[in-house]
Amino acid sequence: MEWIEKLLSAALLTGQVFVHLVRGRIHWRNTVDQLAVVGTESVLVAVITAITIGMVFTIQVAREFITFGASSAIGGVLALALTRELAPVLTAVIIAGRVGSAFAAEVGTMRVTEQIDALEVLRTDPIDYLVVPRVIACAVMVPVLTVVADVTGLAGGLFITTNFYQLSASLYLESAQRLLDSWDLIAGLIKAAVFGVMIALIGSNWGLTTTGGARGVGRSTTQAVVTALLAIFIVNFLLSALLFQGSGQALQRGF
């Protein structure tokens, strides 16, 4: 019951944030600070994750494709997997665990220590001051990190194909160029932006609704991360069904 109440509260918070954005009520200093927290401080983790995923995926795909004489499609298949699914989803999972939990813990601590009440006494709207900057930061930086993950993931795949399977780098890159379409990149960035907004809203909402002192902060943080991860996977399915309708043409371009 508590979880459902918080979901309804998150839906209400979403509407409030939208209204505040339309009215231009943005605390720019906090927004810049949050851009650094979400983006700059998460780059290393995103890069390491993308490289290893690209390498592992290439190992699993290359050995099968080479057996069937389809080595010319290895780079393209990895590029499609990264841009459409792996990069946006895994980047969002990283941000949910690293940043979403921090949002819930920070805002939750402010709630139980009555710092948010003090902001209201000072006529500072907590949504303007705390939530909107986090939403903007995640909506901007998660797509940026996704692009970084796309590039580094392809680089990891390139390392495996050239050093483990002795395939030429030009064949790998040409395959990626042939199979990859601009819509694949755009769709991946749309997913990343949606995931970023969800992470910020869930983390902030669970923090704002925290009760019960230090134990309540820990419970809200855990619930925020779990809820954000579930939301990412569910919404990813819905977005994939919406953005990639009909029959695909990528492999036809690759052969």
* 56 has a pLDDT exceeding 70: yes
Using pLDDT thresholds of 50, 70 and 90, give the confidence band for residue 46: very high
* 117 has a pLDDT exceeding 90: no
**Tell me: the pLDDT tens digits for 147-178?**
999 999 999 999 999 998 888 899 899 989 88
Mean pLDDT to the nearest integer, 51-72: 88
Mean pLDDT to the nearest integer, 194-221: 92
The values of phi and psi at residue 100, to 5°, are -60, -40
Select from 85, 84, 98 the least CA-distant residue to 46: 98
Q: Residue 1's pLDDT is what?
A: 65
Q: Read out DSSP for 123-167?
A: T--HIIIIIHHHHHHHHHHHHHHHHHHHHHHHHHHHHHHHHTS--
CB 228 within 8 A of CB 207: no
Q: Residue 120's pLDDT is what?
A: 83
Those residues whose C-beta lies under 8 Å from the C-beta of residue 17, and which sit 6 or more positions away, are 127, 131, 132, 135, 201
**Tell me: the pLDDT tens digits for 78-109?**
999 999 999 999 999 999 999 999 999 999 99
Q: Is 120 exposed, middle or buried (0-12, 13-18, 19+ CB in 10 A)?
A: exposed
- Mean of pLDDT over the chain: 90
Select from 211, 79, 214 the least CA-distant residue to 150: 79
Q: Is the dihedral of CA 54, 60, 61, 67 positive or negative?
A: positive
Is-above-0.85 flag for pTM? yes
Mean pLDDT to the nearest integer, 46-71: 90
* 254 has a pLDDT exceeding 80: no
Give 143 or 3, the one with higher predicted confidence.
Answer: 143
Q: Residue 114's pLDDT is what?
A: 87
Mean pLDDT to the nearest integer, 196-215: 92
What is the rounded CA–CA span in Å between residue 75 and residue 174?
8
Our CA dihedral for 141, 143, 144, 150, rounded to 10 degrees, sits at 150
